[in-house]
Amino acid sequence: MSHTPLKPPAQNMTSDDKPAINFDFNASMADIEKHLEEARRSTAHEFIEPQRSAFPTELQPPPMLAPSPPPAQPAAFESSFLAELARESAQKQGVNLSATQALQARSQRLHDALNRIVGFFTPLIQYANNMEPDISRSYRLDARTTYTRLKWRGAFVDARKQDISSTALLAHVTFSVNYCAPEPVLAARPWDQLEALKAELNNLKLKALDESELDSKRPKQEWLQVRLAPEFPVHLRFQANYDKGHIDVMSRNLLAFGISAYKLQPEEVTSAMLDDLGRVLLSRADKLPSALLPL
Residue pLDDT, tens place only, 66-121: 677 777 666 666 778 788 888 888 777 776 667 788 889 999 999 999 999 999 99
Give kind and range of the element (H or E) at residue 177.
strand 170-180
Q: By C-alpha distance, which of 181, 178, 125 is closest to 152?
A: 178
Residue pLDDT, tens place only, 138-173: 999 999 999 999 999 999 999 999 999 888 999 999
pLDDT at 43: 56
Q: Give the 3-state secondary structure of residue 121.
A: helix
Domain boundaries, the chain: 98-183+230-294
Residue pLDDT, tens place only, 16-41: 454 554 545 555 566 667 766 776 66
Residue pLDDT, tens place only, 225-276: 999 999 999 999 999 999 999 999 999 999 999 999 999 999 999 999 999 9
- How far apart, in whole angstroms, are the C-alpha atoms of residue 290 and residue 276? 10
Across the chain, mean pLDDT equals 83
- How far apart, in whole angstroms, are the C-alpha atoms of residue 112 and residue 102? 15
